Amino acid sequence: MSIRILKYGGTSVTTPESRERIARTAIRHKEDGHDVVVVVSAMGRSGDPYATDTLISLFKAQNENYKPRNLDFLMTCGEMISAALIANTIEKLGASAISMTGQQAGLITDDHFGDARVIRVEKEKMLRPLEDGKIIVLTGFQGVTETGWLTTLGRGGSDTTAAVVGVALDAESIEIFTDVDGIMTADPRIVGEARVLNAISYEECYQLALDGAKVVDHKAIDVVKRAGKTLIVRNTFNDAPGTVIGPESYIAKLGIEDDRDLITAITSKTGLVQVTVSMSLTSPENAIFLESLEQNKVSIDMINFFEDRKVFTIQTAKLPAVLEILERLNLEHRFAQGCAKLTLVGHKIHGIPGVMRRIVMSLSKAGVEILQTSDSYTTIACLVHVEEVGKALNALHAEFGLSRDPE
């Protein structure tokens, strides 16, 4: 029998009405002849009683010098509550269901607490209840080490759970349900003309997720890409078809290639600091500086090397660590806080003349100052002041015609 994976985020499991909608969807798939695994996140968002961020705040308020293993133990609770409630709702509606933790489902991870990686799935632990005709309601975001310690999979971990389980069970489909209609050309809260994409490639979606889009996690994209599985992002609260995520060859076969022109979508990431360090390319401090960043787990982005300086961006939270390194090495530096990265993503963008000109001209016309740029095979990124993100996104969205319906 074919298996379908249905993953629901925190906003989708918050109310009794939404949980009943999830239960009825799962039952419908079961009645259509499919085995069903429902993967759930903790209820709500930051500030809600059982949300993951709320649990983290509760924990850290008592002791900031905590052990990550103990925090993981607490953070698994939110998903357990969601799974139990939804399994109970399914049974109330007359179907057979079982709630399972990541440990009970056989998701074995390494011991990197807080950001663990699934190293194998003991899938027979899920196959047995499926063979008994039960709908599985599985806690996302968590697993267990070889020695029995509970772990969490990092931000977006419930998406990763759905992807990993879908691949392990060779599921017919993996669907991520959220509170929007799919992957959009921009954040609709900022760009009113943003529209839903019918399809997007693995590479494009991975880059969007990495650079600020929060609809699906980049680690989940990586999992399905390596397995060659497609992923569908849909809205919990309506029947919109959603967005298909897959290889370019598959998208071409769908006959909707015109949905994505030169630029597929634009995203933004805030909370960045631009750092400039005075240092020649041949300076002996180069290696020491970069090694110190690595030792302090500082990830740098938008890296530009010049003859007499380095320019890069970091997360604001890492600024104290970077300043300590710079002062210890006695390196001249300056930094600009309150920055944001705009990323234009498109599989056709590489090597096309005039794209950068259009970006610069449209931002200039909108009165947006470009602080720095970088590019890759599928992206062009601009660093801007955070207060200019809204007008920058709207200007670029209009410049590249992303609001128009596909022909």
Q: Are residues 72 and 39 in the same domain?
A: yes
Q: Are residues 200 and 130 in the same domain?
A: yes
First-to-last CA distance in the chain? Answer: 38
User: Which CATH number characterizes residue 190's domain?
Assistant: 3.40.1160.10
pLDDT computed for residue 259 by the predictor: 45
Q: Are residues 245 and 312 in the same domain?
A: no
Distance of alpha carbon 294 from alpha carbon 80, whole angstroms: 35
Residue 180 lies in a domain: yes
How far, CA to CA in Å, does 145 sit from each of 78, 103, 142, 223, 356?
A: 19, 9, 10, 20, 48
Q: Are residues 252 and 393 in the same domain?
A: no
In the sheet with 379-385, reading across from the earlier edge strand, the strands are 301-305, 309-315, 265-278, 333-345, 379-385, 372-375
| Neighbouring C-alpha atoms within 13 Å toward the C-beta of 224 | 31
- Identify the domain boundary among 235, 259, 283: 259
In three-state secondary structure terms, 147 is coil
Q: Are residues 197 and 283 in the same domain?
A: no
Q: Are residues 187 and 290 in the same domain?
A: no
Residue 73 lies in a domain: yes
Distance of alpha carbon 305 from alpha carbon 317, whole angstroms: 23
Q: Find out whether 405 and 188 touch, Cβ atoms under 8 Å.
A: no
Domain that holds residue 298: 265-399
Q: Are residues 324 and 228 in the same domain?
A: no
pLDDT computed for residue 258 by the predictor: 46
Residue 271 lies in a domain: yes
Distance of alpha carbon 230 from alpha carbon 221, whole angstroms: 9
- Give the total number of structural domains in the chain: 2
- Identify the domain boundary among 239, 259, 279: 259
pLDDT computed for residue 51 by the predictor: 80
- Reference 172, options 27, 40, 25, 35; nearest CA is 35
pLDDT computed for residue 202 by the predictor: 94
Distance of alpha carbon 208 from alpha carbon 202, whole angstroms: 10
- Mean pLDDT split into 10-residue runs, the chain, 407 residues: 94 94 98 98 78 82 85 92 97 98 98 96 98 98 97 95 98 95 95 94 95 94 96 95 88 57 93 95 87 94 92 97 95 96 91 91 98 93 98 97 72
Residue 406 lies in a domain: no
- Identify the domain boundary among 259, 290, 322: 259
List, for residues 212-239, the tens digit of each pLDDT value: 998 899 999 999 999 999 999 999 999 9
Q: Which residues are annotated as a binding site for substrate?
A: 52, 79
Q: Are residues 202 and 342 in the same domain?
A: no
In the sheet with 142-145, reading across from the earlier edge strand, the strands are 118-121, 107-109, 142-145, 150-152
Q: Which residues are annotated as a binding site for ATP?
A: 7-10, 178-179, 189, 214-215
User: Which CATH number characterizes residue 346's domain?
Assistant: 3.30.2130.10
Residue 197 lies in a domain: yes
Q: Which residues are annotated as a binding site?
A: 7-10, 52, 79, 178-179, 189, 214-215
How far, CA to CA in Å, does 277 sit from each of 122, 289, 299, 341?
A: 49, 10, 16, 20
Residue 172 lies in a domain: yes
Q: Are residues 190 and 299 in the same domain?
A: no
- In this structure, what token pair is assigned to residue 208? 């969007």
Q: Are residues 179 and 275 in the same domain?
A: no
Q: Are residues 58 and 90 in the same domain?
A: yes
Residue 405 lies in a domain: no
Distance of alpha carbon 314 from alpha carbon 126, whole angstroms: 41
Q: Are residues 301 and 372 in the same domain?
A: yes
C-alpha radius of gyration, the chain, whole number = 23
The number of residues making up the chain comes to: 407
Residue 109 lies in a domain: yes
